[in-house]
Amino acid sequence: MDLSIKYVSPSVEALSGYTPEEVIKLGPKNLMTPESFEKGVADFKEAIQMMQKTQTQSFHIGVTSTYAKMEQKGGENLRQNFCAIQKAT
């Protein structure tokens, strides 16, 4: 599973002190506590398994649709971790 960060908003620097390039270079494993990283990976794997078992409506309206899909799949923990990652970076 590729857990690299592909894009980081420039606004991350104002929130975290890291430049977007630093966040991409560090990656999620180095930006999170080991416990948070392990839980995030487990929740992400669970969400993928649920997505493979269930069909969902696909719609594209940006990040909001991603949250909506996660919630449709019962991935509340994944959505919370995703928000926590955003806040941590």
Q: Which DSSP state fits 86?
A: H
pTM over 0.75, yes/no: no
Residue 26: inside a domain, yes or no?
Answer: no
pLDDT of residue 56: 52
Query: If 0-12 CB within 10 Å is exposed, 13-18 middle and 19+ buried, where does residue 32 land?
Result: buried
pLDDT of residue 44: 87
Residue 27: inside a domain, yes or no?
Answer: no
Residue 68: inside a domain, yes or no?
Answer: yes
Q: Output the six-digit token pair for 46.
A: 């669970």
Residue 23: inside a domain, yes or no?
Answer: no
Domain enclosing residue 73, as ranges: 33-88
Number of domains in the chain: 1
Q: Residue 60 and residue 36: Cα distance in Å, rounded? A: 29
pLDDT per residue over 33-84, tens digit each? 999 999 989 998 898 888 877 655 555 455 544 445 544 555 555 555 555 5
Residue 20: inside a domain, yes or no?
Answer: no
Q: Residue 55 and residue 3: Cα distance in Å, rounded? A: 24
Q: Residue 40 and residue 61: Cα distance in Å, rounded? A: 24
Residue 63: inside a domain, yes or no?
Answer: yes
Q: Output the six-digit token pair for 69.
A: 């899909």
Residue 16: inside a domain, yes or no?
Answer: no
Residue 49: inside a domain, yes or no?
Answer: yes
Q: Which residue has the higher pLDDT, 85 or 53?
A: 53
Q: Tell me which H or E stretch contains 51.
A: helix 34-53
